[in-house]
Structure 1
Amino acid sequence: MPRRTATMLASTLMLIALLCAGVLIPVPYAEMSPGPTVNTLGEHDGEPVLQISGHKTYPADGHLNMTTVRVTSAGYRMNLVEAVYGWLAHDSRIVPHDTLYPDGKTEEQSTQENAEEFSQSQESAKVAALKELGIPVRSWVIVSTVVKGSPAEGRLHAGDVIKAVDGAAVKQPADVAKLVTKHKPGQKVVFTVVPAKEQAAAEKAHRTASRTQDVTITTATSDDSGAKRAIVGISAGTDHTFPFSIDIKLADVGGPSAGLMFALGIYDKLTPGDLTGGTFVAGTGTIDDNGTVGPIGGVEMKTVGARDKGARYFLTPADNCAAAAKDTPSGLTLVKVKTIGDALGALKDIRSGDTAALPKCTTKG
């Protein structure tokens, strides 16, 4: 065999071997890409995303689109060729697998966590919108979860309303941990609670629950990496009673990042006129009960998805501005927001056409 032919054959075989290795050898990465965007003012799968009853609503046109990110599943093992293609592609991002699924978290666990965050974001969106409108919302601290095998198991239950700890009134979830950790491990702590069943019955009958009970629990020692402290094995959260019904109908979406856009959609439907003035506005951001907008993941993918759908303006959490501005899709203006008030102010400028003073994102924030 001629030397040149042998060299070409060897090179070809080497290339084939490298391609096979690239396809067959898994790498510890996952892919993020633009997911669907949904207009909170419109319909999804044939029904309105926001359904409000018991209060006057107004027609709301235009777009206030929430955005999503599509990610590879926890069990999917990307190969080297896919990773390289993703690195080169403009509309995707390759990240370490542990970024999306830390500590060996399964897809089922991640899905459950995202569902819980999505549910909480809906509640906070409702509270933030109604507070901005001056509509009262009743709130209280509840037992959110009880750790299996903990001192609280069988003593406290998810949904119990925590009125006091050792006689000290509880006003917010953080109060619970502060009061429990005043004890040393092994000491007793007394919770004054309204049982979950009593609270549910009171809400159904539109009355205030009055029956409380004291529950005494012996604290244990924390087993995490932090300083040793007394614990009982619960997480505290907040529950609300709304003066009228607000339902958010959107399945197959997880995480807390739609909170801002849900809040704006609710606000728009409860006020005359259109917040957008007919302009296509999209956005993202967590929101808390006080209307503070927080950062999210995958903002670069969300801006791409929004622009592909037709958005002209993108409401961007202030802490995501620098990352988003590094590669802004052509024709999309990134608007910096820190609160629901900021977002409403920006929308006022957008619908009036006076956008010169809009707080725009830059690579510095």
Structure 2
Amino acid sequence: MKTKYKIGSLLFAAVVFMASSFYTLPYYVSKPGMAKELEPIIKVENGFEEKGNFMLTTVRMGKANIYSYLLAKASKYQEIYPVDVIKRDDESDEEYTTRQLHLMESSKLNAIEVAYKKHGLPVNYQYKGVYVLNIYPGMPADGKLLPGDRIFKADNKSFSSSELFIEYVSNKKEGENINLTIERNNQTKDISLTVAPFPDQPSKKGVGIGLVDDKEIMVDPEVTVNTEEIGGPSAGLMFSLEIYNQLTKEDLTKGYEIAGTGTIDPNGEVGPIGGIEQKIVAADKVGAEIFFAPNEKGIKDSNYNAAIKTAKDIHTKMKIIPVDTFDEAVAYLELLPAKK
């Protein structure tokens, strides 16, 4: 009888544990992710090889349940964030994922532009339409368009920029129909919507989508960047260094394992990112010897200063290098003696 009672108690505890693990809290937990070599995922046509490696660094982010929340509370290099810090107001999980993947796509385009221009090669863009990032609840697009849809015609008209598309839609009268031609899952379809005022801005009219340009970069030699499902803009700097290195005969890695993080804009400016502490831990685990960190013009609470603090705390031998621009990172590498 006691044995049956014990088994029943264990089964009940197991069911409670499983059920509670599926109940999420209004928080996200981030922890050290991976440091991934870039040469296998970035290929410049007929590009030069390198002796060392450039690596992107990531954090692992997920919704918190009671167990991951308590574990993060007890862990030094796990962080807890309220949902509204990670996601925008009324942003669905699908919209958040779409936004992160688009930020990664923009990061890749900026990195290619910076690297090719640094090498003195021309860069051109082909406009393909507008890319739907999010849908405003209660507006005409709600339930008809989805995050990730590509709109490439309105009333059978093509546009050369998102600004012209927005201007065309906003010039429509309230209640007037607009026919959008979209691409979704490699299939083309027409969707008819009615122009309406935004509930919080009655003077502003539209169909209720947040959008960005969908464009393709045109460069020679060709370059491919296969990031699969990695999202966010924080790999921009490291992308640009890897692409530039494959374009350049002299190997900038000099045989070192080089990690780093930071956004990149088309002018080569390096911007701050989140989770720098976890990225230092991830880079140290794979034996990185150099880490580029956004300097943020030397402000007190910069990514660089946070990285230095973490590096000292985990007793890593990795060199932390502050950078504000792509050119600064290249200049550092050009002066770096080759690894013996």
* TM-score using structure 2 length: 0.68
The structure 2 residue matched to 1:310, chosen from 272, 287, 301, is 287
CA contact (8 A) 1:279 1:351 kept: no
Q: Deviations over 1:214-264 (max 9, x none)?
A: xxx9965334x5684344656341432222321123334222211211111
Aligned to 1:39: 37
| Residue type of the alignment partner of 2:61 | V
Aligned to 2:7: none
- 1:186 Cα shift? 4.8
The separation in 2 between residues aligned to 1:297 and 1:33, in whole angstroms, is: 11
Change (3 A) 1:175 1:342: farther
Change (3 A) 1:173 1:144: closer
Change (3 A) 1:182 1:249: closer
Matched, 1:286 2:274: no
- 1:267 Cα shift? 0.6
Q: Deviations over 1:117-162 (max 9, x none)?
A: 2223222221221111111111255532356835xx99xx936499
The structure 1 residue matched to 2:56, chosen from 38, 60, 66, is 66
Alignment partner of 2:57: what SS? strand
CA contact (8 A) 1:142 1:161 kept: no
The separation in 1 between residues aligned to 2:305 and 2:246, in whole angstroms, is: 32
The separation in 2 between residues aligned to 1:132 and 1:309, in whole angstroms, is: 30
Q: What does 1:212-361 correspond to in 2, within 5 Å?
A: 220-223=196-199, 225=200, 228-231=203-206, 235-237=211-213, 238-319=215-296, 320-329=303-312, 330=315, 331-351=317-337
Change (3 A) 1:307 1:226: farther
The structure 2 residue matched to 1:49, chosen from 20, 35, 41, is 41
The separation in 1 between residues aligned to 2:125 and 2:304, in whole angstroms, is: 32
Ranges in structure 2 where 5+ consecutive residues have no aligned partner: 1-16, 184-192, 297-302
* TM-score using structure 1 length: 0.64
* Higher radius of gyration, 1 or 2: 1
The separation in 2 between residues aligned to 1:218 and 1:97, in whole angstroms, is: 33
The separation in 2 between residues aligned to 1:279 and 1:306, in whole angstroms, is: 13
The separation in 2 between residues aligned to 1:341 and 1:298, in whole angstroms, is: 24
Q: Deviations over 1:314-352 (max 9, x none)?
A: 111233334434433432332222221122122223347
| Residue type of the alignment partner of 1:312 | E
Alignment partner of 2:267: what SS? coil
The separation in 1 between residues aligned to 2:224 and 2:201, in whole angstroms, is: 40
Matched, 1:77 2:65: yes
- 1:102 Cα shift? 4.7
Q: Deviations over 1:251-283 (max 9, x none)?
A: 342222112111110110111121121122111
The structure 2 residue matched to 1:110, chosen from 78, 92, 96, is 96
Alignment partner of 2:28: what SS? strand
Aligned to 1:200: none
- 1:182 Cα shift? 9.0
Ranges in structure 1 where 5+ consecutive residues have no aligned partner: 1-19, 42-47, 189-194, 198-216, 354-365
The separation in 2 between residues aligned to 1:32 and 1:128, in whole angstroms, is: 30
How big is the alpha-carbon RMSD for the aligned residues of Structure 1 and Structure 2? 4.2
- 1:84 Cα shift? 4.2
Q: Percent of counterpart pairs with the same letter?
A: 28
Matched, 1:119 2:80: no
CA contact (8 A) 1:218 1:232 kept: yes
The separation in 2 between residues aligned to 1:289 and 1:159, in whole angstroms, is: 24
- 1:305 Cα shift? 0.7
Higher-strand-fraction structure? 2
Q: Deviations over 1:174-227 (max 9, x none)?
A: 6766x5799697599xxxxxx999xxxxxxxxxxxxxxxxxxx9965334x568
Change (3 A) 1:103 1:236: closer
Alignment partner of 1:328: what SS? helix
Number of matched pairs = 290
Q: Deviations over 1:302-322 (max 9, x none)?
A: 111111211222111233334
